[in-house]
Amino acid sequence: MDNFGLLLDEWRVAVDKEVNGKCQPTLLLSAATYYKPVIPWDVVHRYPVESIDKNLDWINAMCYDYHGPWTREDPTGTLAALFEPTGTLADLFDPTGHISTSGGLQSWIGAGIGRKKLVMGLPLYGRSWRLQNPTVNGLGAPAVGAGPGGEEGYMSYAQVNQFNGQVNARAVFDEATQSYYSVAGPYWITYDTVATMTRKMAYAMGLGIGGYFFWDTSNDQGCQFSRPGTH
């Protein structure tokens, strides 16, 4: 992360130098980042927030993939909760606290990044699980791996809607986290809807941050965009 900060310093000098005395705009510099400025994996990494704020025009905070069927033992959880789960769910999903979009954005602001340089990510896809017991199907339900969508249960928003309609899935809104999930027999899917995205956009506007982005538009309902490398 120290070297990343130095790299940003060098890039800013380079792009400013490039346009010196020329009638052309300066290149924009941005980065896609973790949803918060600290990555608490096996080794804790802290983003060089001071260098980011000084040198980048904005960052795209990836406010999604908070939970997924990464291993066969992972329980169901929210893909991109706006707020933290409460009670026993909080202990199950996040013993250290603050796995949520609101927590991530607030932590970036608290670390010193300018609000207008902070952009909130919105997922146009879902993650699926196969339940251990179809009758135990709420948030935090035991699972035995990924459901529809392959090894990591990846389903586009269009595929989620199609699946929900084909199998008459039961859609559930979780008020605490402001997130949706669907249940159909042994399958469980977490995703965002128009309603949850609208609430997230309102939250972002209330924070006064730079905006929001989608990952990615090719996953949207009725969208005809092709993926990179395809036609």
CA–centroid distance for 162 within its chain = 22
**What is the per-residue pLDDT for 72?**
80
Q: pLDDT means per 10 residues in the chain (231 residues)?
A: 97 91 88 95 93 98 95 89 74 60 96 98 97 94 93 94 95 95 97 96 97 90 49 30
Please report the sign of the dihedral spanned by the C-alpha atoms of residue 157, residue 33, residue 112, residue 78: positive
**What is the per-residue pLDDT for 101?**
97
CA–centroid distance for 163 within its chain = 22
Structural domain 2-219, CATH architecture: Alpha-Beta Barrel (3.20)
**What is the per-residue pLDDT for 136?**
95
**What is the per-residue pLDDT for 95?**
46
**What is the per-residue pLDDT for 171?**
97
Alpha carbon distance 123, 188 (integer Å) = 17
What residue spans define the domains of the chain?
2-219
pTM over cut 0.85: yes
